Amino acid sequence: MASTHHVLNLIERGRTVLQGLGSDFHADAARLEELTERLQEGRFHLAVLGQFKRGKSTLLNALLGEEVLPAAVVPLTARPTFIRHGKQRRARVVFEDDRPPMEVEVDDAEGLRRILTPYVSEEENPDNRERVAEVEVFHPADLLARGVVLIDTPGIGSTHQHNTLTTRTFLPQCDAALFMVSADPPITEVELEFLQEVQQHVPRIFFVLNKMDLLRGQEQTEAANFLRRVLKENGRSAPRVFEVSAREALKARQSADRQAWEASGMEEVRHHLVDFLA
């Protein structure tokens, strides 16, 4: 407790100094204020990072147990979406201009997805023309009740370069990350370059190898071994790799099929996250 109190005092002193330096430093002061709130509330930011179309939104939907975040066959996520615990399903959109935040409470996942899509999707909010600063989702999932905030991020490496920039700018806000690649295609040079950047900002990284349902038997083993070998060659000693099918996991959660959920590999991810947060 004393350590946390000391850190909060240091942050407050820094925020006071930044506020006194003029408007050019107001954004930095605001980030320190947000950090203070996170420490006081015990919030832990866990981001899902990776190249576009690796299945990040689907994985988060699987952890939530329902299709909250929009997903598509084209590059979709345009703005980071913060998913926090709440007793009721609710969305809150904060804008960069003088418009007041928009808050909507809904009854189900479909309602949340319908509210979110015009603000977080690239198709309906290209180049962030809606001037969205931040999107928050409140959801009653058990994992969120432990203080974790799950964060869906725009994919890197697509034709939308502003999405890559958004994700890179966002990295300092992450306490840990699920770095997501997929079995088809294997990890790329773009992803390895991005991983080097992530490692400079994020203290703890877990690796998820998605879309294992597209492979069979020996192919799955070869894909996992290839990823581990590449990660070792790029400075990750004995990397832990979770082999999953986010798509099959979401289907299993929706049908309450416990056996299929465990077969998808996502129960191992969920259990590891719970242990880590504890």
pLDDT of residue 78: 58
Nearest to 174, CA basis, from 138, 148, 142, 145: 148
Distance CA 92, CA 232 (A): 41
pLDDT band at 160 (very low <50, low <70, confident <90, very high): very low
Q: How would you label 132-156 residue by residue, b for 16+ Cβ within 10 Å and e otherwise?
A: bebbbbbbebebbeeebbbbbbbbb
pLDDT band at 146 (very low <50, low <70, confident <90, very high): confident
Q: Which pLDDT does position 27 carry in this prediction? A: 60
Is residue 253 very low, low, confident or very high in pLDDT (cuts 50, 70, 90)?
A: very high
**pLDDT tens digits for range 56-73:** 999 999 999 999 988 754
Is the per-residue pLDDT at 169 higher than 90? no
Alpha helix stretches (DSSP H) within 121-244:
161-170, 189-201, 218-233
Q: Do residues 253 and 65 make contact, with C-beta atoms less than 8 angstroms apart? A: yes
Give residue 158's pLDDT.
46
**Per-residue model confidence (pLDDT) at position 159:** 42
Spatial distance between the Cα atoms of 76 and 47, rounded to a whole number of angstroms: 17
> Is residue 114 over pLDDT 60?
yes
Q: Does 252 score more than 90 pLDDT?
A: yes
CB atoms within 10 A of CB 72: 13
Confidence check: pLDDT of 8 > 80: no
Beta-carbon-side half-sphere exposure of residue 159 (alpha carbons within 13 Å): 5
For residue 24, how many other CB atoms are within 10 A of its CB?
8
pLDDT per residue over 20-43, tens digit each? 777 666 666 656 666 556 554 557
Q: Is the pLDDT of residue 223 over 60?
A: yes
Lowest mean pLDDT among 109-113, 199-203, 263-267: 199-203
Q: How far is the C-alpha of 143 from the C-alpha of 277, rounded, in Å?
A: 10
Question: By the 8 A CB rule, do 15 and 29 touch?
Answer: yes
pLDDT in the model for residue 132: 87
Per-residue pLDDT, averaged over 123-141, amounts to 87
Can you point out the beta strands (E) in the chain?
A: 44-50, 81-85, 90-95, 102-105, 132-139, 148-152, 176-182, 205-210, 241-243
User: What band does 249 get if pLDDT is binned at 50, 70 and 90?
Assistant: very high
Please, what is the average pLDDT of the chain?
A: 83
Average pLDDT over residues 248-257: 96
